[in-house]
Amino acid sequence: MLKIVSAVIGRDLKLAMRRQADIVSALFFFIIVVSLFPLGIGPEPDLLRKLAPGVLWVAALLATMLSLPRLFADDHRDGTLEQLALAPHPLGLVVTGKVIAHWLVSGLPLALIAPVLGIQFDLSADALLVLTGAILLGTPALSGIGAIGAALTLGLRGGGVLLSLLVLPLYIPVLIFGAGAVDATVTGLGGEGHLSLLAAITFASVGFAPWATAAALKIALE
């Protein structure tokens, strides 16, 4: 099982390195969106600290969604997806590898750059640490949930818009607890409870989403 997952991860990472523009564009989108708010709001530290959790999380959410339409589209276009579906190993394992690879190229870079962007909002060191941990915990759930939407809209005309409509409501719990953890740290209440709930959502998403995605892919391929 681990060999199958690791092979899919390695394959998708190699393909992603050939399309580095997609990775860079999502990262620059995240940086630009987050940086616009301090410029528009002005140098008011209290207001910036209050807005920081929501701004950073919404920007991370939208940046993660940029690459979702291509999660299965390329493999579907060249027939690879059909071959993977006909293989003897479970399709859910393949989807798990693709979800992990998607997180490595979309979620992980956002988590690494987030503390630098958080400085613009005058966040404390503790808040920056919680922000990094929250994005590291939450973005795998975004990739897992997004994979379900990408599978359901595979091959549909205007699938990108439909994908957003399907996925955004499901992202709300991740957004609430991720931003809430940072906000609780900023106000001195502590974000441990929010992080625990965020971790629970992530484990549930990563555990169940690949199998739901595999079922959706089989329907799309019929």
Asked whether residue 200 carries a pLDDT value surpassing 90, the answer given is: yes
Compute the average pLDDT of residues 207-217: 89
Compute the average pLDDT of residues 69-84: 81
The alpha carbons of the chain give a radius of gyration, in whole angstroms, of 18
Asked whether residue 15 carries a pLDDT value surpassing 80, the answer given is: yes
The residue whose two tokens read 């795998």 is 140
How far is 153 from 166, CA to CA, in rounded Å?
Answer: 9
- Cα angle for residues 123, 124, 127 (degrees, 5° grid): 80
Asked whether residue 163 carries a pLDDT value surpassing 90, the answer given is: no
Between 71 and 148, where is the model more confident? 148
CB 109 within 8 A of CB 27: yes
Asked whether residue 218 carries a pLDDT value surpassing 70, the answer given is: yes
Asked whether residue 170 carries a pLDDT value surpassing 80, the answer given is: yes
Instruction: Mention every residue, 6+ apart, whose C-beta is less than 8 A from residue 32.
Output: none
pLDDT tens-digit series, residues 119-156: 888 888 888 999 999 999 999 999 999 999 888 888 77
Between 116 and 161, where is the model more confident? 116
Asked whether residue 158 carries a pLDDT value surpassing 70, the answer given is: no
- Cα angle for residues 185, 104, 143 (degrees, 5° grid): 75
pLDDT value of residue 196: 92
CB 130 within 8 A of CB 191: yes
pLDDT value of residue 45: 83
Q: Give the confidence band of 29 by pLDDT, cuts at 50, 70, 90.
A: very high
